[in-house]
Amino acid sequence: MDVRKQILTQATRLFAGQGYDGTSVQQIADAVGIRKPSLLYHFKSKDELRENVIAEMLGHWNAVLPGLLLKASTEERFDATMEALTEFFIEDPDRARLFLRETLDRPQSMKAMLAKFVQPWVNLLGEQLERAKGRGLVRADVDPEAYAVEVITMAVAGTAVIDTLEVILPGTPARGSTRKRHARELIRVARSSLYTDNEGEK
């Protein structure tokens, strides 16, 4: 029964690209190559399908990020933490778009998810940044949690819209290199606004 996975894949792609309200169950069924009632046999309602799409994304999140974040933060390589976070979204822009749309469309349910899956990590990171501040490693004027929120926003939203915003950038060289240019500058901004001094990383 991996028609379920096909449905989830197509639903993710369409919800990310056109939004939940802008996507009909019919369109998803067409993309999979089945009839609408067949889709509704696997997922009782459009809303249940949406919940499963979100759950799948949070699954990736929970499988991949904790290891990266924990490792990076215990070593006090905060920039590596930010790079890992950025890569998680850049790897699959649909993830970023879905996340952003869900935040706009269902702020209340997103609040609950953020409280459960993101806040603990931001708090942990915040404490460690606070300590690093005391030791002069991190700038004194940094607001740790607010800083984390800004970087997360920049990573998610930047990745979600960079293909559209690239029209602003003049020298557009090879295909897809705009994403790299975005990623590089994002990391640079995140890093240089955090540390008291450059550590000489390329």
Partner DNA sequence: CCTACCGATCGGTAGG
Residues of this chain that interact with a copy of itself (CB under 8 A) are: 18-22, 97, 100-101, 103-105, 107, 110-111, 114-115, 118-119, 122-123, 126, 139, 141-143, 145-150, 152-154, 156-158, 160-165, 167-170, 181-182, 184-186, 188-190, 192-193
**Interface segment toward DNA; rule CB under 7 A; list 38-46, 64-72, 88-96, 142-150:** 38-46
From residue 150, give the alpha-carbon distance in Å to each of 18, 74, 103, 168, 189: 26, 21, 15, 22, 11
Closer CB to a copy of itself, residue 70 or residue 115?
Answer: 115
Q: Kindly state whether residue 161 participates in binding DNA, applying the rule CB under 7 A.
A: no
Closer CB to a copy of itself, residue 104 or residue 174?
Answer: 104
The DSSP secondary structure of the chain, one letter per residue, reads -THHHHHHHHHHHHHHHH-STT--HHHHHHHHTS-HHHHHHHSSSHHHHHHHHHHHHHHHHHHHHHHHHHHHHHTT-HHHHHHHHHHHHHT-HHHHHHHHHHHHH-HHHHHHHHHHHTHHHHHHHHHHHHHHHHTTSB-TT--HHHHHHHHHHHHHHHHHHHHHHGGG-S---STTHHHHHHHHHHHHHHHHTTBSS-----
Binding at 26: pick from a copy of itself, DNA, none (beta carbon under 5-8 Å per type) = DNA
**Interface segment toward DNA; rule CB under 7 A; list 25-33, 67-75, 89-97, 193-201:** 25-33
Among 17, 18, 38, 130, binds DNA (CB under 7 A): 38
Q: Kindly state whether residue 193 participates in binding DNA, applying the rule CB under 7 A.
A: no
* Whether the Cβ atoms of residue 125 and residue 81 lie closer than 8 Å to each other: yes
Q: Kindly state whether residue 24 participates in binding DNA, applying the rule CB under 7 A.
A: yes
Q: Kindly state whether residue 35 participates in binding DNA, applying the rule CB under 7 A.
A: yes
Exposure on the CB side of residue 174, measured as CA atoms within 13 A: 4
Q: Kindly state whether residue 41 participates in binding DNA, applying the rule CB under 7 A.
A: yes
Residues binding DNA: what is the number (CB under 7 A)?
Answer: 19
Q: How far is the CB of 92 from DNA (least distance, A)?
A: 24
Query: What is the contact surface with DNA in residues (CB under 7 A)?
Result: 1, 3, 23-27, 34-38, 40-42, 44-47
